[in-house]
Amino acid sequence: MTRKAEAAPGPTGTRRPAGGRSARLAPHTLAARDAWASALEAVPRSRFLPDLIWPHDMATGETTSVDRARDPRAWQRHADADEPIVTQWDDGNHRGEAPGRSFTSSSSMPSLVSAMLADLDARPGHRALEIGTGTGWNAALLAHRLGAENVVTIEVDRAVADEARRRLTDFGMPVRVVHGDGFLGHADGAPYDRLIATCGLRQIPHAWVAQVRPGGVLLVPWGTYYGPGEATARLVVAPDGRGASGPFTRPVAFMRMRSQRLVWPRHDDYVPPGAVSAADTSSTALTEAQLLGTGSFDAVDFALGLRVPRVARNVDRKHDGQRAVWFYGLTDRSWAVVVFRDDRERAKVYQAGPRRLWDEVADAHAWWVAHGEPAYDRFGLTVDERGQHVWLDDPDQVIGRPQGASG
């Protein structure tokens, strides 16, 4: 059974350019890339997967079920492939083979898993905390290098936590699996040398910084409400232990932490009948490609989200050479829409409400262009007792304080 994936985020893959293909996992290639290759060979992903899996094709966006009992060879092929595999839908409320509405637990792409472990720079002797146990495979990889006694992992979903604990024990790596909300971290095991989150955050809790020793590293997928643009922040805890700061290392697409999911605004609540004809109108020379980027590695979404806080954006499907892109304010009923038409040079804009959301987006885009269209790795994040702020090139060049939807 097949299902087109939700628009974003994906079930944890590296964001690929459109048209990219899933590659077979090649351990020797990975060996050249990072020190985690031998762990990947010693700890096969297949030992942590359930019999019913939903591999996700990053190129087509399709998610197809594979049942081990019915097709063991296909199951093994997918387990060994460099692709994300969905292992739970709809917080476990969905049963059966057909894909559900939203993927809520998965095993990430092996190449991304190894790249993140390399970024984390966890070494023998370190103690590590993982947020988001999922299948338990990443915890097992950590345990392979650090020792099972030095790894704690937290999972919010009880059934997922129980299954991972069982598989870790069966594999001979009895990592401590805690069932609970990872947002609080796990103070009992602190201080840690390393903290890795394998679900996406919009707001990193200071508790995590407080639980990692000075000089220790946090690696956290992070993004705003604006769009799917997300990247891993690699934060090093300051010598006084009060804050942590560092650059973004790579674009990713993780499912968000349960408590930080976006509850999509209801279009009709913002734009009731007649609202478009009553809205302020203007036009823009910004093109669809400039606003949306041309590949999934494009940093434009990420950058705009940093400059336009508390806004969700929705891109309509293209229809008859026309595409509408909507913006919804998350703390008031401000909205805007820009309508691109293939046969027009300028796009029409409608906006209404206390904020002028399109003006904010256009200003943010001009700012991004004026700064040389920075990619993810020119941005960085600092988390301290006052909250979090994002910077460009240098921690002193603060460009925004993106908070939660209500912040």
Ligand X SMILES: C[S@@+](CC[C@H](N)C(=O)[O-])C[C@H]1O[C@@H](n2cnc3c(N)ncnc32)[C@H](O)[C@@H]1O
- CB 12 to ligand X: min, Å: 4
Residue from 81, 154, 220, 233 binding ligand X (CB under 6 A): 154
Contact 347, 365 (CB under 8 A): no
Residue from 250, 258, 341, 348 binding ligand X (CB under 6 A): 258
Alpha-carbon distance 98 to 316, whole Å?
Answer: 25
Does residue 201 interact with ligand X by CB under 6 A?
Answer: no
Catalytic residue among 105, 108, 114, 245: 108
Does residue 63 interact with ligand X by CB under 6 A?
Answer: no
Restricting to residues 263-322, name those near ligand X by CB under 6 A.
none
Alpha-carbon distance 354 to 360, whole Å?
Answer: 12
Of the two residues 40 and 255, which places its CB atom closer to ligand X in the complex? 255
Contact 212, 237 (CB under 8 A): yes
Of 103-111, 282-290, 308-316, 339-347, the window that binds ligand X (rule: CB under 6 A) is 103-111
Of 13-21, 148-156, 240-248, 355-363, the window that binds ligand X (rule: CB under 6 A) is 148-156
Contact 160, 187 (CB under 8 A): no
Of the two residues 201 and 300, which places its CB atom closer to ligand X in the complex? 201
Does residue 155 interact with ligand X by CB under 6 A?
Answer: yes
Q: Is 114 among the catalytic positions?
A: no
Of the two residues 120 and 131, which places its CB atom closer to ligand X in the complex? 131
Nearest to 192 by CA among 213, 215, 220: 213
Does residue 58 interact with ligand X by CB under 6 A?
Answer: no
Restricting to residues 110-139, name those near ligand X by CB under 6 A.
131-132, 134-135, 137-138
- CB 64 to ligand X: min, Å: 18
C-alpha 64: how far from chain center: 21
- CB 5 to ligand X: min, Å: 14
What are the residues facing 55 on neighbouring strands? 85
Torsion of CA 79, 84, 86, 90, to 10 degrees: 170
Of the two residues 135 and 284, which places its CB atom closer to ligand X in the complex? 135
Of 15-23, 28-36, 254-262, 393-401, the window that binds ligand X (rule: CB under 6 A) is 254-262
- As annotated, the active-site residues are 108
Give me the residues that bind ligand X (CB under 6 A), please: 12, 104-108, 131-132, 134-135, 137-138, 154-157, 160, 181-183, 198-199, 254-255, 257-259
